[in-house]
Structures are given as structure tokens and as C-alpha cells.
Chains A and B, each alone.
Chain A
């Protein structure tokens, strides 16, 4: 449905997207993952027809975004980052305007608008002014707008930015729901978000596509390289014992009093099996040293760590928690 080939986009002399190529098939839910400023929004804007590519070609459902921009735009429902809306309009008025603008046939307009409002959960606020809505509701109005013309492709730029945890859960459920009827491409800088919604992930960093693959692969990439051990008793003794275990790189205690959390980082070169046995040894050693173990928990790798492992950039790991 989406075919991007050697896409480059510059703003003046600054390169925002650098030679990116990927394909997205019908019915996929693809997460576009990268830190802020990686070029996610720029790429999505090109796909949505708001920006033209500096070089390379982009085809939406077979329509080139430059030569056949009009048809390409008809196939896409796009929700821009931070969801700009007209504050003076009521929700229903806005959706009527958007549906007419997107050429929903007059006879079906009311039905499709109702449908979109139901799916996005904005029926309750249909007659409120957009300017009076909360951030969560505005986000939903943006979603309703993206799907109102029933486009085959839905592109969402940071659909959960600025929402509270409840709203984020709802938004993710909604995106999964959309995946049944649309090809969905969403961008985010939160790793767990992609894991929750997408079947495939595109990793972008500093304008370059670093990796792409099924969500499981990305999940494996962030396999834990550290464990938290919560001990009760003499923390210094436990720390000394842990540091003696082969494969352990650093031990960092946090907390005061007699219950202390020790973050144990393993050597990066350790294979999965070696790490597992090192974990077992850690627990055994701490117990043997006479300190009580309250809790042992693997620590998931962060997005920064995944990027660091892909780019070989050790500096990014240093600041990651």
C-alpha cells in the first residue's frame, strides 16, 4: 500500500530524512519508532502529501505523491502531530466540513460521520466547541477526522502524545481496532507503544532507517542486560558478593535503610544463556552471603539502549536508565 524508495527530505541544508526505503503491505499495523527529531514527522508528512520529497519516490496505493498527489491524498487519512483543529467549530461541524472536503458522497456523509464518531468515542462531545475540549478528546476528534472518509491507509503522528495513562490505553486499543479495516502507520518515540499496537516496526534514527522487522525482533533486541535485586540486611556485603560473580559489570545500590535495591548490569558481550546462569549465580551468592533477597527482577532495555546496540554508539547507553 505504501512504497517508499530512497526518500530524502531536506530543510534548506539540514537533512531531516536521508535515503529511507521501505514497503508497507495491506492490512499491516506498522510502528514508526525513533527518538524526537529522528525524522519521523517529516517522513509521515511526505507520505500524507503535505511535504514533497527532495529526492526519491513515494507511492501511496500506487499513486505517486508528487505526480498524482490528489489521488494519493484521497487514499490517506492523516492525523498530524499535536492535532491542529479549528477551535471555533463544534465537533460535528468540523467532521461535516472534513467529510465534505474529503469528498464523502452526500448520501453517506451522516452515516460515515456517525460511524467515525462512534469508533473514536466523541459522540458525547459532538456538539461542544473544539476549543473547549480536553487534550484527550481533541486527539480523538483528530482520529475521527482521519477515518471519516474510510481511507484504506491511516497515518497517525504520535497519537498518544500528551495523553494520560488511561487515555493512552484507550488510544492503543483504538489503533489495534483500526488495524482490522485499515493499513495503519503510526509514529512514536515510546518503545512499549509499538509493542502494544504494531505488528511490524521501522526504526529510524537521525534521518536514517536503522532496522525494520516484526515487533518480536525488536522486543528481543531490548532483552534485559541488567537485573534489580532487592536485598534486606547488609547491602555492602551483598554488593561485594555480587561484584565477585563472573559476568557482572557494575552494581549500583539505591535506597536507604536496610532494604536496598541493587541494579546489577551484566557484561554486554554475554549471550542469553550465559546471562541466565549469571542471574542464578547472583541470587545464590547473595543468599550464601547471609543477606535476605526480597525480589529479583529483569530490567528491560530502553529505546536508547536498542538504538545504541544498533548504532554501536556507547554514549547513548551511558545516559540510559
Chain B
């Protein structure tokens, strides 16, 4: 695992030295900023809204905008992780150094996750703004950000896995987007399937919509932790095996 640090540092460097990262972050913050402005504006105009809904719970839950943003951001963030190294051949230098597959996978994943967290950090300012104008429940905020972190961790892991399984960045991006889309559509299925059926249960279990609603209203459900834990660990494991398998291909 000693090779974790150098690879982690190089990945972060590679990400921030290209314009891609800055474009993604800029787009993300502009979209989120508008989203936040519209919500706050909406709540300010309707003082008679019930106390259950707050600008914060509406920002993180009950909104399709969050998934759209993740759907657009995650695939380009993860597509190059492995596919680019295999295309350009640098993977040959990387894997002939004394490194373990697990260290390579984890370092690249950690770099992507760090970037993701860095993207969300500026949105902490919204909480500061909200607190200035009214009461803010910091526990709910912590729960909402836990949700954001978990969803991101799972999605990035899926994206990394797709990148390890193909040589083409473009295919890695398309695959990641497809998987995320399927997950999202399954989640929507919760609303169209009849209650009591197995399909309804399954859809409810994987519905990122329902998950974020819970997290945004301060509920940290252990089922969600297990779901996103699995969604993170399993693709990372598959990616590690894929990296091992390159030697035998």
C-alpha cells in the first residue's frame, strides 16, 4: 500500500492540471448555485409553507436536479482513470513498477472521491447563508452531506470499474452513464409499481430519490449504508480483479 500515495498525488495532479476538472467544477457550482437561489427565493415568497420542508431538505431531497448533476459529472470524472492509461500505454510503466493492483485501484478511486468532495465543499457556504437568515439543523445538514458522500462514493466506484473494463474513455463514459441511468429508472419504478409487489420493494430499495429524501430529512437508515457500501466495495473489487487479469489477457 506504500504505492498508494504517489499514485493518489499523481491522479489528483492529472485531474486538476487539465481544464476538464475546472470546467466540471464550474458547471457544477453554477447549476447548484442557481438551484439554491431558486429554492430560497421560492421559500421566501411562500411564508405559509409547512415547517417540514426547509430550503435545505428541498436542496438535497425531493429534487431531480441532484441526480442530473451526478449523472452528468460522474462519467467524465471516472472515464479516464484506467482507460486513458491503457490507451496511451502508460499502464505498462505503472504496472511494471512494484505496485499492487489494489493500491492502484484504491489510489485512483481516492483521487476521484477527493475531487468529488472538493466539488461539494463550496456548497457549505449555502448552509452558512441559511444559518444567517434563520435556524439551521446541523444534524440534518450532516445527514444530508453523508447521503451526498455515499451516493457519490457508489457512483464513482461504478465509473472506475467501467474504466478498468474498457480501453476506450468514451465507452467507459457511456457505460457509466448507462448504469447510472438504469439505477435511476429503477428508482423511479417505485412510483409506478403497485405497493406490495416485489418489484416495488426492489425499486424502493435502490431508489436514490428515496434515499436522498431520507438523508435530507435527517434519517440515516442502515439499509442505505449497506446499499451504498456494497455499491462502493463491489465495483472496486471487480476493478482490482480486472487490473490483475490484464497480465493474463
Which A residues are within 8 Å of any B CB, using their own CB? Answer: 11, 45, 48-52, 70-71, 73-74, 76, 78, 80, 82, 84-86, 88-89, 93, 97-98, 100-103, 145
In the bound complex, residues from chain B placing their C-beta under 8 Å from that of A71 are 98
Q: Do B98 and A98 touch (CB < 8 A)?
A: no
A49, A73, A100, A101: most-surrounded residue (chain B CB, <10 A): A101
In the bound complex, residues from chain B placing their C-beta under 8 Å from that of A48 are 96
Looking across the interface, which residue of chain B has its beta carbon closest to that of A84? Answer: B89
Complex: A48 Cα to B249 Cα, angstroms:
16
Interface window among B7-15, B49-57, B135-143: B7-15
Tell whether B133 is near chain A: CB-to-CB under 8 Å.
no
Looking across the interface, which residue of chain A has its beta carbon closest to that of B92? Answer: A80
Q: Do B96 and A76 touch (CB < 8 A)?
A: yes
Q: Do A85 and B6 touch (CB < 8 A)?
A: no
Which B residues are within 8 Å of any A CB, using their own CB? Answer: 2-3, 5-7, 9-10, 13-14, 17-18, 88-100, 247-249
Complex: A51 Cα to B96 Cα, angstroms:
9
Kindly identify which residue among B89, B93, B95, B247 contacts A145, using a CB–CB cutoff of 8 Å: B93
B91, B93, B249: most-surrounded residue (chain A CB, <10 A): B93
Q: Do B3 and A80 touch (CB < 8 A)?
A: no
- Chain B contact residues, majority secondary structure: helix
Q: Do B18 and A88 touch (CB < 8 A)?
A: yes
CB distance from B42 to the nearest CB of A (A): 43
Q: Do A102 and B88 touch (CB < 8 A)?
A: no
Q: Do A82 and B89 touch (CB < 8 A)?
A: yes
A-B contact sample (5 more), CB < 8 A, given A11-B249, A100-B5: A45-B92, A73-B98, A84-B92, A88-B13, A98-B97
Looking across the interface, which residue of chain B has its beta carbon closest to that of A71? Answer: B98
Q: Do A102 and B97 touch (CB < 8 A)?
A: yes
Q: Do A49 and B95 touch (CB < 8 A)?
A: yes
In the bound complex, residues from chain A placing their C-beta under 8 Å from that of B90 are 84-86
Kindly identify which residue among B5, B91, B98, B248 contacts A102, using a CB–CB cutoff of 8 Å: B98
Looking across the interface, which residue of chain B has its beta carbon closest to that of A73? Answer: B98
Complex: A119 Cα to B88 Cα, angstroms:
26
Kindly identify which residue among A73, A78, A100, A145 contacts B6, using a CB–CB cutoff of 8 Å: A100
In the bound complex, residues from chain B placing their C-beta under 8 Å from that of A51 are 247-248
In the bound complex, residues from chain A placing their C-beta under 8 Å from that of B17 are 88
Given contacts A88-B17, A97-B6, contact A50 B95 (CB under 8 A): yes
